Amino acid sequence: MKRPTQKETNPFPYSDSNKRYRTYDWFLRERFGCKVAKIPLAADFTCPNIDGKKGVGGCIYCASGSGKFNAPVCMPIEEQYETMLASMRKKWNVTKTIPYFQAHTNTYAPTRVLEPMFRRAVSLPGAVGLAVATRADCISKSCARLLSDIGKETFLTVELGLQTANDNTATLINRCHSYGDFLRGYYLLKESGNIGICVHLILGLPGETREDMLRTVKQVAMLRPEQVKFHLLYVLKDTPLGNMYLSGSYTPMTREEYVSVLAEALEYLPPETVIGRVTGDAPAADLLAPEWSRKKLTVIDELDKLLFESARYQGIANQSATL
Ligand code: SF4
């Protein structure tokens, strides 16, 4: 007799495949009725952790902190958008998009500068939403008000880099903001309304145990954000973390460790939280380690396999309360 497939035996309700977590792709198809492409845009901002306002050199893993990847003067966002879209359309038929201000800190400017930029992005042809990546300590009251106004008009997600809720680790990685700072920005956005929040977390930060990583996930789960993105800490050339790795004072996680922590982390997150990603893409030429991170699809497949074999899925740890 034919064995049932992972998809046929999937008990997770927010999925039409073998995924046992609420993927961003599934969520967008449900909401917009078709595949939606996220289009990265670069605005001409820096970061308070690079320009000296809060720190210099950036987070220890950040290649922008070294100045190496700083964008030159950017093309107008309309041109960036057209270029990205043309390249995506060679592969598939893109009709709806979410412009995404991704690099650096995209609320690190007065609202009189931010507002026209966000409004131009929202009116790009095919745009059905907007995503803005930033730091929680760069959300002022006026910025939260502006974002809330934009969120009344379109599907808005503000992506906040938390990385860890452990302040000792935050200091070690030169993050230059605490969990308290994060919460202040998070609640400013929440209380303003009309804004979906995506929290970015990094697994494998120096000095963090499995318990430390899961503690952060449990703290974030209590906030019930609309979205969470998991990143693997990869090591890039010409960064302080790269030097730590080369001197032997930092050892990246193995793939097995990463997938195992990730699977448990998903158990604690509410099933309604969308999982924006489960690993990251390092710039290939600058990657020092871990070598296994180059094969992103293998990581995703290993996660699916582990969840299937151990009969687990997103939110199962709180199942009685949430499903
Ligand atoms: S907050 Fe982001 S852009 Fe700024 S230094 Fe850290 S990783 Fe780099």
pLDDT confidence of residue 3:
80
CA of 161 to the centre of ligand 1 (A): 9
Query: What letter represents residue 210's amino acid?
Result: R
pLDDT band at 95 (very low <50, low <70, confident <90, very high): very high
Q: Ligand 1: does its nearest atom lie under 6 Å from the Cβ of 160?
A: no
What is the rounded (10 degree) CA torsion for 117, 123, 124, 130?
70
Q: To test the ligand 1 pocket, which listed residue (44, 45, 46, 64) has its Cβ within 8 A of the most ligand atoms?
A: 64
pLDDT confidence of residue 72:
45
pLDDT above 80: residue 105:
yes
Neighbours of 210 (CB within 10 A): 14
- Residue 12, domain member (yes or no): no
Is residue 92 packed enough to be buried (19+ CB in 10 Å), middle (13-18) or exposed (0-12)? exposed
63: number of CA atoms within 13 Å, CB side? 17
CA of 223 to the centre of ligand 1 (A): 23
pLDDT above 90: residue 69:
no
Mean pLDDT, range 165-194, rounded to an integer:
98
3-state secondary structure 45-72: CCCCCCECCCCECCCCCCCHHHCCCCCC
Nearest CA to ligand 1 atom 5: 58
Write down how long the chain is. 323
pLDDT above 80: residue 196:
yes
CA of 315 to the centre of ligand 1 (A): 30
- Residue 16, domain member (yes or no): no
What is the rounded (10 degree) CA torsion for 122, 43, 160, 307?
80
Q: Which residue has the tokens 């035996």?
A: 9
Q: To test the ligand 1 pocket, which listed residue (44, 45, 46, 50) has its Cβ within 8 A of the most ligand atoms?
A: 50
Q: Which residue has the tokens 């964008």?
A: 71
CATH number of 79's domain: 3.20.20.70
- Taking the model in full, what pTM does it have? 0.96
pLDDT confidence of residue 60:
97
The residue among 307 and 4 whose pLDDT is bigger is 307
Is residue 157 packed enough to be buried (19+ CB in 10 Å), middle (13-18) or exposed (0-12)? buried
Q: Ligand 1: does its nearest atom lie under 6 Å from the Cβ of 49?
A: yes
Provide the sign of the torsion angle of the four alpha carbons 88, 91, 97, 101, taken in this order: negative
Tens of pLDDT, residue by residue over 210-247, are 999 999 999 999 999 999 999 999 999 999 999 999 99
pLDDT confidence of residue 319:
73
Pick the atom of ligand 1 nearest to 47's CA.
4
- Residue 14, domain member (yes or no): no
pLDDT above 80: residue 64:
no
- Residue 5, domain member (yes or no): no
List the alpha helices (DSSP H) in the chain. Answer: 24-32, 77-89, 111-122, 141-153, 167-172, 179-192, 210-223, 240-247, 255-268, 296-309, 319-322
Is residue 219 packed enough to be buried (19+ CB in 10 Å), middle (13-18) or exposed (0-12)? middle
Mean pLDDT, range 178-207, rounded to an integer:
98
| Residue range(s) defining the domain that contains residue 282 | 24-314
pLDDT band at 194 (very low <50, low <70, confident <90, very high): very high
pLDDT above 50: residue 104:
yes
Nearest CA to ligand 1 atom 3: 104
13 upstream amide cis, omega within 30 of 0 = no
pLDDT above 50: residue 102:
yes
Q: To test the ligand 1 pocket, which listed residue (53, 135, 173) has its Cβ within 8 A of the most ligand atoms?
A: 135
Q: Ligand 1: does its nearest atom lie under 6 Å from the Cβ of 64?
A: yes
CA of 59 to the centre of ligand 1 (A): 6
Chain centroid offset of residue 47 CA: 17
- Residue 153, domain member (yes or no): yes
- Residue 3, domain member (yes or no): no
Closest CA to 104 of 154, 147, 44: 44
Mean pLDDT, range 109-126, rounded to an integer:
97
CA of 47 to the centre of ligand 1 (A): 6
Q: Ligand 1: does its nearest atom lie under 6 Å from the Cβ of 65?
A: yes
Mean pLDDT, range 116-120, rounded to an integer:
97
- Residue 86, domain member (yes or no): yes
Pick the atom of ligand 1 nearest to 64's CA.
8
Count of structural domains within the chain: 1
pLDDT confidence of residue 63:
86
The rounded percent of the chain whose pLDDT value lies above 70 is 96
- Residue 168, domain member (yes or no): yes
Mean pLDDT, range 74-103, rounded to an integer:
93
Q: Reduced to 3 states, what is the DSSP secondary structure of residue 92?
A: coil
pLDDT confidence of residue 65:
54
pLDDT above 90: residue 267:
yes
